Amino acid sequence: MSDTIDTQGSCLCGAVTLHVSAHDPHVDVCHCRMCHVWSGGPMMAVTASGAPRVDGEADVAIYDSSEWAERGFCRHCGTHLFYRLKSSEHYAIPVGLLGDTSPWEMTLQIFTDEQPQYYDFANDTKAMTGQEVFEMFTGDASS
């Protein structure tokens, strides 16, 4: 599918609405420890085609979660809004935030080397270790 998907989603309290465009209807799953702590389990996200348009931007808080990324959330209800790479316009939007989830398909799992043993997905996806992910984004095998 090459058509752009335009969708939106709001936080639990309704203070923030994200308007998101995506060129690819895939959902990526991150099993890293940081995502587990942040979301209580794996993060399932859609890759946005650039920065989302935000209604209620004053209600968005940013957490500087690492040297390379930051996470946005509603300062009132705590809903997770996005994960953003600082070096680019790469935004990962939690798929559960979005209204219509029918166009999405899970196709990639990352940080599979950090996935806890207590769950497993049946979907046939590409799987990448943390090292492979860092190499993909930085070209550096030592990260």
Per-residue pLDDT of 45-62, as tens digits, reads 999 999 999 999 999 999
Q: Phi and psi for 84 in degrees, rounded to 5?
A: -130, 130
Task: Give Rg (Cα) of the chain.
Answer: 15
120 with 106: CB under 8 angstroms? no
Type of residue found at 23: H
125 with 108: CB under 8 angstroms? yes
Per-residue pLDDT of 68-123, as tens digits, reads 999 999 999 999 999 999 998 899 999 999 988 788 899 999 999 999 999 988 87
Place of tokens 């046939």: 124
This prediction has a pTM of 0.83
What number does CATH give the domain 5-116? 2.170.150.70
Q: Name the residue ranges covered by the structural domains of the chain.
A: 5-116
